[in-house]
Amino acid sequence: MSTQRASVPSAATPQGAGRYAPSPSGELHLGNLRTALVAWLFARSSGRRFLVRIEDLDRARDAGTADAQLADLRALGIDWDSEPVLQTGRGDAHEAAIAQLSQAGLVYECTCTRKDILAAPTAPHAPPGAYPGTCRDLTEAERDSARARIAPRLPALRLRAPAGETRLGFDDLLLGHVEGDIDDLVLRRGDGTVAYNLAVVVDDAAMGIDQIVRGDDLASSTPRQILLQRLLGLPTPPAVSYAHVPLVLGPTGARLAKRDGAVTLTDLGSAGLSASAVLGMLAESLGLASPGERVTAAQLVARFDPATMPREPWVWRPASA
Ligand code: GLU
């Protein structure tokens, strides 16, 4: 007899898994739904399991929103293989990862405010916006006085990134080779919230995710996440593959947002567009269906080919609804 943990499937599952990891910050709009569909198609067309993680670290009180998001995914025909994982339930694993890095001498306290960081002189060759290292090498006494200075605020925790390494590259299934900056990223904020980059890396590994598909606004975070994978001894590319999906733009050419009109399933439904019509529209935008064609998600799996995925953003205009 074997026992199974419902919330976090074993990382040892041989066939691997893809995932969709929404933040429960509101209803999913067409851009979110399209990325979720692409993530599901990538996973299903490659024989992977598909999992969902609710990234609720910042929004633990928004449980109703997460339910609505899951209902919308289901309405499009997107399914998943295990109970969705709640990121707020993973605190022990996040803290264990920070402790592991700390034991390796890779964590330090940082009392800088955003203003301090902007005002600090930057090191030569440092990537723009990189943490200037103000708190990296303080003595114990200096740390004590820095802590006292910001009380009752608490220090954040930062990663001590390997000296001299400022760039890291990876091969993206859609974007090709991507290079980005790495620096002393925040692991835990002063308010005690674990940082997105740490949580995502720890949770993807624990869930056995070996295919990460998400919006291309996150491509610049990936080098930092690969660095964390490496330092934590977790699988890195090519054992983990990445596909960053071009975003959906609204009629003004800016990233699609709720202000662009009826962009959620609820609003589109009120405008007379069923979930299956929305699926058809998303499929058309991905080159997987002809205009007006009614398709099922399962049919799309058979048609999906990463090589023919559009590499450009999809500009959504209400008239195309
Ligand atoms: N929670 C993030 C978002 O909704 C996605 C994180 C990820 O896919 O790694 O934008």
Distance (angstroms) between ligand 1 centre and the Cα of 143 equals: 34
The alpha carbon of 214 and the centre of ligand 1 are apart by a number of angstroms equal to 7
Asked if 221 and 112 count as a contact pair (C-beta separation under 8 A), the reply is no
Q: How far apart are CA 29 and CA 304, in angstroms?
A: 22
Strand duo 167-172 + 85-86: pairing = unpaired
Cα(144)–Cα(121) distance, rounded to whole angstroms?
Answer: 23
Per the structure block, which two tokens stand in for 87? 């990121």
Separation of alpha carbons 132 and 248, rounded Å = 34
- Backbone φ, ψ for residue 274 (5° rounding): -75, 165
Q: Which residues pair with 84 in a beta bridge?
A: none
Residue 271 to residue 221: CA distance in whole angstroms: 36
Q: Which of 87, 88, 200 to mutate to test the pocket of ligand 1 (most atoms within 8 A of CB)?
A: 200
Alpha-helical segments (H) within 107-168: 114-119, 140-150
- Is 55 near ligand 1, meaning CB less than 6 Å away? yes
Domain positions in the chain are 92-188
What is the chain's alpha carbon radius of gyration, rounded to the nearest angstrom? 21
Asked whether residue 95 is marked as a ligand-binding residue, the answer is no
**pTM as predicted:** 0.92
pLDDT per residue rounded down to tens, the chain (321 residues):
333 334 444 444 457 999 999 999 889 999 999 999 999 999 999 999 999 999 999 866 666 899 999 999 999 999 999 999 999 999 999 999 999 999 999 999 999 988 888 888 877 677 777 899 999 999 999 999 999 999 999 999 999 999 989 899 999 999 999 999 999 999 999 999 999 999 999 999 999 999 999 999 999 999 999 999 999 999 999 999 999 999 999 988 899 988 888 899 999 999 999 999 999 999 999 999 999 999 999 999 999 999 999 999 999 987 544
Give the distance (Å) from ligand 1 centre to CA of residue 185.
17
Q: Could you give the angle at which helices 275-285 and 30-45 cross, rounded to 10 degrees?
A: 70
Written as six digits, the tokens of 44 are 């299903």
- Kindly report the CATH class assigned to 92-188: alpha beta
Instruction: Report d(CA 34, CA 313) in Å as an integer.
Output: 11
Instruction: Supply the pLDDT for residue 61.
Output: 63
pLDDT of residue 114: 87
Q: Mention every residue, 6+ apart, whose C-beta is less than 8 A from residue 203.
A: 53, 85, 87, 90, 93
302 is in an annotated binding site: no
Which residue has 């979720």 as its token pair?
36
Please enumerate, as own/partner, the contacts of 129-132 that have beta carbons within 8 Å and a separation of 24 or more. Answer: 129/181, 130/166, 130/181, 130/183, 130/184, 131/158, 131/183, 131/184, 131/185
User: How far is it between the farthest Cα atoms of the chain?
Assistant: 69
